[in-house]
Chain A
Amino acid sequence: MSIPVEVLLKKKEHYERDAHHTPEDFHEELFRLEAEGEWIIDRVPEPYIEVNTKYNRPKKIPIGNLWHHKSCGQCGHIPGYSTAIFWVMRKLGLDYNDPRDQTSCTAWNYYASATSNAAAQAAVAMRNFAAAKESGYYPLIHCGTSYGHYKEVREELLLHGDLRRQVRDVMDKLGKPLVMPEEIVHYSEWFYAMKDRIAENQVRDFSGIAATVHPACHYYKLVEGDAIYDPDVYGGQRTAIVTGLVETLGAEVRSYSTWFDCCGFGFRHILVQRDFTRSFATQRKIEVMKEEADPDVVLTHDTGCVTTLDKSQFATQAHGANVGVPVMSEAQFAALAMGAHPYKVCQLHWHSTDYRPLLEKMGIDWEAAWAEFEADVAKLERGEKEFLTWDDVDA
């Protein structure tokens, strides 16, 4: 028997957080340490949009001039994730920087194998933030884990002077100052903040599309205070990220009872204990979504979650599991709404679950689109071009 989610949600249409549990605003300490010369605060550049966070504090989300802190998982295995983010920004006429002077957050060696430590992880974060500052662009974090981990790093550096001193010594050796952004911003927050402008540029009707949303644990569970919440989305009880955008695009977001559950990624598990990942992803997420919400698509906003929810479905068919729903990021979904090419931009051929019925429902002729992509790839194969460019994509 499924849980009556809608009845429960009705009771919590206007969720109020207990004011006694409101944590202190970290900005006060952030700026105090700057005044004492401990570090430089990289301020959110104007123009920015203010959004509401969990404890009703405003958060500044910069509109343009962004330094894209890419994700090793997205760029490596789900490249349409990154290309969709870039494409939407280009379409809106916004300048950005796609740097080579950037490492990943390296948190795989923190959460998966524990072959790193607090100082190393903070130094990696500070190196990337200093590189962003040098470039004159403001960091936008693509990965949910990088975003959550950098917030953890910020907390640790705020709390511990010895750690700040240790990391500052390392930065001195690199010839870089200690730089902390005023706000750590995830790409989903940018999409949420820009949702009305994205909807103004929508060319495809999504009113017939039903979606379920999986929020990334490291987005709203790690240092949860500066995740986006909206009283008009889930009554303000759950993070509004992804859902707020998808509803603005006219699609229907359907709820399900295991919304708060992790996807089962597990870092180590997705690679070396995949039986766990596969079981959790299908039994606690995909099958529950299918049974309770029957979505056309699952939308999420972290590398690990897309990979886990997408790749885990294939093998479970052998057990007759109730699976078979495409998975993508809300950035890919928004790009499709704005008319992006499903292969040249959204790179859906890198995904495993069958997305073609969804494209048909969106009014996209996927066979024609695939033929266009293959024609472009043939040019590369014949040596007529070395690479495809943004000009090719929008041709």
Chain B
Amino acid sequence: MTEAPSALYKAPAVAGHDNVPFAEKQRLFEQVKADVRYPDYLYGCYECGICVAACPSARFYDFSPRRIAQAAAREDIELIYQQMEEDIWECSQCFSCVRCPRGNNPGGIITLLREVAVNNGLGSARQALEGYSRIIYKIMSTGTQVSPDMLQPDAFPDWGPEVKDVSDNLDLWRRALPPETMHTTSTGWDVSEKTLIELYLIWFETGALEMIREVDEGLHMILEEVMEERLEEEGIEL
């Protein structure tokens, strides 16, 4: 166990995760702070609680956007690490919290904390993204996400019997749509090949594809193979 170097930090025994060295927690927070968006999201918190009153997740989870803004403002590395492992995936990313009178963006801070959690393969990120591979795959490989064939009654039994009607009639009902681009069943609309090539280049060039490696190595391998093969066919070298 490594002690936090300042009384300003929540005690590791209270914050939990005291098996993780303080230096590691500090390294992760430095990554958050290094992001260009970070200074735009945090101006200091005076604990008024308006963000909590507006927050949907605060009503149903042990979650508080105020704690997120506070911990970041105080640079409480122990508490920030606790939040990265226990809190950040409860946020709805609705940004109701930007009603903050100080101009803070707790939802934006959470976006950054999540990205660092993903980039470093933290347990919370792996757990949160379990069962989420299909969505990541779909977005990165097709450029759309909510495909019509997702609507399967066994996947969405709580959405009512109409889901089965859609599923049973999917091909016909899609062909009955007047816009020519929407006759698809496995993508939201027909995305051109040229567009996909450009999208794949974006994922490689910006490091977005690399982000997935730490949280889902198998998915990363599949995506890399699909994209590299397609780019090679086009004669594009990475």
Contacts and interface: CB of A to CB of B under 8 A. Distances in A.
B115 interface: yes
Contacts of B195: 100-103, 131
Nearest to B207: A117
Given A118-B35, A217-B96, A76 B162 contact: no
Contact of B145 (A104, A224, A269, A276): A104
A31 interface: no
Nearest to A261: B56
B43 to A, nearest CB: 14
Nearest to B174: A79
Contact of A117 (B56, B190, B211): B211
Nearest to A381: B172
Contacts of B181: 70, 75, 98-100
Interface stretch (B2-10, B19-27, B65-73, B135-143): B135-143
Nearest to B142: A103
B206 A120 contact: yes
B191 A221 contact: no
B206 A393 contact: no
B205 A170 contact: yes
Contacts of B46: none
A124 B56 contact: no
Contacts of B227: none
A388 B176 contact: yes
A262 interface: yes
B93 A112 contact: yes
Contacts of A11: none
A76 B150 contact: yes
B117 A114 contact: yes
B140 to A, nearest CB: 7
B11 interface: no
Interface in B180-222: 180-183, 187-192, 194-195, 198-199, 201-203, 205-208, 211-212, 215
Contacts of B174: 79
A391 B175 CA distance: 14
Given A86-B179, A217-B95, A380-B172, A262 B56 contact: yes
A72 B189 CA distance: 8
A271 interface: yes
A288 to B, nearest CB: 13
A267 interface: yes
B235 interface: no
Contacts of B136: 109, 113, 115
B165 to A, nearest CB: 7
A267 B92 CA distance: 7
Nearest to A166: B206
B15 interface: no
Nearest to A217: B94
Interface string B77-105: 00000000000010011111011000000
B166 interface: yes
B40 A114 contact: no
Given A82-B182, A170-B201, A267-B92, A279 B188 contact: no
A76 B61 CA distance: 30
B148 interface: yes
A155 B148 CA distance: 33
Given A100-B192, A102-B191, A115-B212, A120 B203 contact: yes
A317 B135 CA distance: 29
A127 B146 CA distance: 21
A366 interface: no
A377 B151 contact: no
A311 interface: yes
Interface string B118-134: 10000001001101100
B132 A222 contact: no
A262 B144 contact: no
Interface of A: 70-77, 79, 82-83, 86-87, 98-104, 106, 108-120, 123-124, 127, 131, 148, 155-156, 159-160, 162-163, 166, 169-170, 173-174, 176, 217-218, 221-222, 224, 260-262, 264-269, 271-272, 274, 276, 278-280, 284, 303, 311, 313-315, 344-345, 347, 349-352, 373, 376-377, 380-381, 386-390, 392-393
13 contacts: A75-B189, A82-B179, A83-B182, A100-B191, A109-B135, A117-B206, A120-B203, A218-B94, A265-B92, A279-B60, A311-B158, A349-B166, A352-B163
Interface of B: 35-37, 40, 54, 56-57, 59-61, 89, 92-96, 98-99, 111, 114-115, 117-118, 125, 128-129, 131-132, 135-136, 139-140, 143-148, 150-151, 156, 158-160, 162-163, 165-166, 169, 172-183, 187-192, 194-195, 198-199, 201-203, 205-208, 211-212, 215
Given A101-B192, A113-B128, 7 more contacts: A100-B195, A127-B199, A217-B94, A224-B98, A314-B159, A349-B173, A380-B176
**Top-7 shortest CB links A-B:** A103-B143, A114-B114, A314-B160, A76-B146, A75-B188, A266-B92, A120-B208
